[in-house]
Amino acid sequence: MVNKERLVELFLEMISVNTPAKQEKVLVDIIQPKLESMGLSCVRDVAHLVTGGDCGNLIATLPGNVEGAPPIFFSSHFDTVEATPDIKIIVEDGVIKSDGTTILGADDKGGMSPIIEGIHTIIEQNIPHGDIQLLLTVSEEIGLLGARYIDQGLIRARMGFVLDTGPPVGTIVVTAPTQETLDVTIHGKPAHAGFEPEKGISAIQVAARAINRMKLGRIDHETTANVGIINGGKATNIVCPEVKLRLEARSRNVTKLAHQVTHMRDVFEDVAEEFGARVDVRVNHMYDGYRLSSTDDVVKIANKAAENLGLPTGLREAGGGSDANYFNSFGIPTCVLATGMKQIHTHEEHIAIDDLVRSANWVVEIVKVAACEAGK
């Protein structure tokens, strides 16, 4: 159905471009003319004025040729979790990977390239469709910032599909957690570590004791917590007077999340008091979770399309956020579609060409199924 060679060529072109968060403009400048040459109207918002990046989100619109079909959108993000300035791409046995010195960038170019090929196929084959928008975002990997600050006035779609999770292609993420982060500063007291260590209060010891006492990792089937960043200390002969930490907690149950965050704050405060130190804890709300059901139109359309193609189907729960968290918070029902990206955020990341094709065909079939709604 879709053009496999054209899809692979596009994917290879995209992953060859280095696009860490806040440096996506070089690829946006490549993709926008491609979409415009296909007949989509494109506009960039000014989200980068808030995110600090070099480019805003790209919003592309293809007017429908069927009246009454629900307007839908597809979404993926330009940025990758790490920079790939000297990427070396290997295509072997139907699998695309890097040489192991960098990530591949299939997260999320393995979602964006099938979207673009799917739309290309729809136009080329004059497939009936309603209004379709592409919400191609920036700075997703550093807190969903592009989606958070997207110009909502440019979104006309009533439901959406984000291609941004791992296989099997055909499965659908229908729920994801709420996330909060904690920025913690522990204030100890400096002293010479050799002459009078007893006069100091080690912020490192306070941090270590608190972390050891804290519930971390997998809390339950809905909740996780992690210490991600620790900074502190200047020399071995100084009792460390200050440590900064960044932690996170996430849960698909907001009550459990609140309990976990309170626990983490309380542990820091209790341990600081025991040592005679002082602690500042700032809690940051990152994004809201969401929960869809099998009866929601957006899920039914995606599931029906997968069934039509003979793809494995199933509804999944996610432990991480995506741009869908923000789109759902805007009141636009949005599910996440599985792609072929495997071992993402590692240098072993790879994707099968067949999965790229499956994803692109799924995009086309979703459009067909959604257009059928016009006749009901």
Q: For position 353, what pLDDT does the model report? A: 98
Residue 131 appears among annotated catalytic residues = no
Q: Cis before residue 168, ω within 30 degrees of 0?
A: yes
Marked catalytic residue, from 140, 180, 323, 349: 140
Query: Which secondary-structure segment (H or E) carries 338?
Result: strand 334-338
231: three-class secondary structure by DSSP:
strand
Q: For position 291, what pLDDT does the model report? A: 96
Task: Answer for the pair 215, 263: CB distance below 8 angstroms, yes or no.
Answer: yes
Cα-based distances in Å from 213 to 96, 152, 185, 264: 43, 43, 17, 9
Marked catalytic residue, from 24, 45, 79, 131: 79
Instruction: With a cut of 50, list the residues of the chain below it in pLDDT.
Output: none
Count Cβ atoms within 10 A of the Cβ of residue 220 and give its class: 0-12 exposed, 13-18 middle, 19 or more buried: exposed
- Residue ranges and CATH numbers for the domains of the chain are 4-176+289-375 (3.40.630.10), 178-287 (3.30.70.360)
Q: For position 1, what pLDDT does the model report? A: 85
Q: For position 190, what pLDDT does the model report? A: 97
> Residue 307 is which amino acid?
E
Residue 198 appears among annotated catalytic residues = no
